[in-house]
Structure 1
């Protein structure tokens, strides 16, 4: 196996492409120094038995906390993959964390969430000179990410939050987060992370708004289903606007013809998931009656990716690594355009590690078809800035 140790200096990346859960865990854990590790993030391919994998990780890591999720693909030191178990070990020397588990996400009282966050903030004592951020991993088909992201950011205040929604390949059926030695559906986990490293958040896509607008005139918000656009059946109106027959609509078509929602001065992608009965459209983010949707048009992908990932630290240094949450719809578009190798090369160039999501969380906003990440840099003392 290729030694991944030189990819990043401040975390350890462990990989296995074994076909069974037990073999994959054994091979990956052997690459982790458990004595030096504060916690591990596990990004799991959909072919491995979840119950066996969770049990083996819990047993073999010997008390080191493991957090993670099922994925729609992994971003390893080699770039895009679909069958790799990837563990990222965060060492005690540079990281500390506190965790919170949220079960029954759709019905979880937001007031109780606020109280739990307050307790964590009080109990998790600060380390002088270290900075904090929040990480959230949540069920990607829960339809609760929008409220979760906004509530978390409100409760954490100046502490920025980043994360991604779990996937399950391309099934869009059952996704799970890993917490406490078990996989949980309909749930979320939140990590409050403290680090000695410098870091900065990043979030970008490669779309610009056009002048083509559509208004949601009938919707079922709690299900994220739009029944009508501009007073017409939603799928028929969307098809007419993009010039594609309704029976040709697919995830690939949705990925290449996104709709955008304006929030303040910025546009975010509000991705379409599928065509529903009676020509409704199911979305991957919040929708409501009266929402104005703007058809987006793509820009040059590789340049946008290179520019978005070309980050610098306080002294102009390049990131040691970027923890990335990359929407599966982006990967579908890149696949359709024959660009997977080019994108993987760009991820290698910028030391991106992470997974393909069903949605991304960026500073209190749940977005789609977006790259969200955290770039980590070697810390520069204040007196050298």
Structure 2
């Protein structure tokens, strides 16, 4: 009698580990990651050359077959929720995951044809298994200002691959962000990861804003710098301050988070987040803008309940949720005194990731949004395709 083949072990979810920055960082991360035998490790939080040192230490402990990528952040999400000045590493076990990576460099030059060719080569060489879930992850320089063109390029080159991601951060400095691919640390670049898994995967999106009746027209802008010079034919900072009811000398990232500018596209509103008042009294944005654009002032709504509802609507409890959470959402939570409440939700639903300078989802670059991927046990041998849950205004 021929014995029945052994059942394939159930794939396990990603493992998140957090460590303080310092001499023992690498060892703490390795202690938490090694048993997972990861095929892919994402590292969030360190800056500059610190990323390269972390990568070398992790590679020595995990071996050359593990793909390592990461970026600097504006804050981290670890096993206990929100954190700052720490390192979060997420390991994707080789037993249930496979990953490939490509660097898309020279963002300033916009070599779109080269990017498309590199993405298609990666997809062809990866040879995805149609029985498994396939998705893309994007980490991108959050200062270079080319996310809109980049995500459109990825969507055009790999239209069948749902892709999410986040723009690297630099605390609240908005000066220089860094990315890690292997042992190479870089700026003015993006890292695209193609990932395949036996698990079911579902997108989770959430935005906590709604449009008001107040509108403004961009009457002068510098599109390639994402800068508004005039709103309603008035200096941009002064007019924005007037329509939101805040003195111009009190415009801070927290106020920008409370009063976002929204751009309507189809039936959805997308935040065109403000990062700073410029020296010429204009407004520096975190997404694309152009002269003639009509913007609507947004109103911040409930920051926690809707997020919990989005996660509760998942078909099964998640093993982990990889999260890209805009720094402006975190600032809004801090102002509302809800950081611990959100951290408790992150812990309950096993959310791990980082605070971004923008999020990528559905072929768009957006702001002030939570975008994530929930990993769940598959119901049968073939993992479910990537689905979506969340509120309709979070695109």
Q: How high is the TM-score relative to the length of structure 2? A: 0.90
Aligned 8 A contact 2:202 2:373 in 1: yes
Aligned 8 A contact 1:220 1:227 in 2: yes
Q: How far does the alpha carbon of each residue in 1:284-317 deviate from its partner, in whole angstroms, 9 at most, with x for none?
A: 000001111100011122212212222323xxx2
Aligned 8 A contact 2:253 2:275 in 1: yes
Aligned 8 A contact 2:12 2:93 in 1: no
- Say how many residue pairs are matched: 373
Change (3 A) 1:383 1:178: closer
Q: How far does the alpha carbon of each residue in 1:208-237 deviate from its partner, in whole angstroms, 9 at most, with x for none?
A: 001111111100000000000111111111
Match of 1:375 in 2: 374
Match of 2:13 in 1: 10
Q: Equivalent residues in 2 for 1:16-27 (5 A)?
A: 16-17=19-20, 19-20=21-22, 22-27=23-28
Q: How far does the alpha carbon of each residue in 1:135-157 deviate from its partner, in whole angstroms, 9 at most, with x for none?
A: 00001111001111111112111
Distance of 2:172 and 2:156 partners within structure 1: 32
C-alpha displacement of 1:159: 1.2
Match of 1:337 in 2: 336
Distance of 1:269 and 1:320 partners within structure 2: 30
Distance of 2:35 and 2:143 partners within structure 1: 33
C-alpha displacement of 1:113: 0.9
Q: Does residue 43 of structure 1 match 2:47? A: no
Distance of 1:356 and 1:202 partners within structure 2: 16
Q: How far does the alpha carbon of each residue in 1:69-114 deviate from its partner, in whole angstroms, 9 at most, with x for none?
A: 1111111110000132111111111111111101221213101111
Distance of 2:383 and 2:265 partners within structure 1: 38
Change (3 A) 1:9 1:84: farther
Change (3 A) 1:337 1:35: closer
Classify the secondary structure of the residue corresponding to 2:288. coil
Match of 1:98 in 2: 100
Match of 1:147 in 2: 149
Q: How high is the TM-score relative to the length of structure 1? A: 0.92
Distance of 1:128 and 1:282 partners within structure 2: 43
Distance of 2:185 and 2:216 partners within structure 1: 39
Match of 1:5 in 2: none
C-alpha displacement of 1:171: 1.1
Distance of 1:244 and 1:67 partners within structure 2: 41
C-alpha displacement of 1:349: 1.7
| Alignment partner of 1:241 out of 236, 240, 243 | 243
Match of 1:226 in 2: 228
Gap runs ≥5 in structure 2? 1-10, 385-395
C-alpha displacement of 1:52: 3.0
Match of 2:114 in 1: 112
Change (3 A) 1:152 1:47: closer
Match of 1:273 in 2: 275
Deviating more after overlay: 320-329 vs 300-309: 300-309
Change (3 A) 1:60 1:108: farther
Match of 1:324 in 2: 323
Distance of 1:296 and 1:339 partners within structure 2: 20
Q: How far does the alpha carbon of each residue in 1:26-78 deviate from its partner, in whole angstroms, 9 at most, with x for none?
A: 22112222783211111124598344334433444331221111111111110
Match of 1:4 in 2: none
Match of 2:218 in 1: 216
Distance of 1:52 and 1:98 partners within structure 2: 22
Distance of 2:378 and 2:288 partners within structure 1: 38
| Alignment partner of 1:301 out of 292, 300, 303 | 303
Distance of 1:51 and 1:14 partners within structure 2: 18
Distance of 2:382 and 2:244 partners within structure 1: 55
Distance of 1:217 and 1:69 partners within structure 2: 36
| Alignment partner of 1:65 out of 53, 64, 67 | 67
Aligned 8 A contact 1:310 1:350 in 2: no
Classify the secondary structure of the residue corresponding to 1:111. helix
| Alignment partner of 2:265 out of 246, 260, 263 | 263
C-alpha RMSD of the superposition: 2.0
Q: How far does the alpha carbon of each residue in 1:242-285 deviate from its partner, in whole angstroms, 9 at most, with x for none?
A: 11111110101101010111111100111001001221100000
Match of 2:365 in 1: 366
Aligned 8 A contact 1:321 1:376 in 2: yes
Distance of 1:320 and 1:51 partners within structure 2: 29
Match of 2:391 in 1: none
Classify the secondary structure of the residue corresponding to 1:278. coil
Distance of 1:51 and 1:376 partners within structure 2: 28
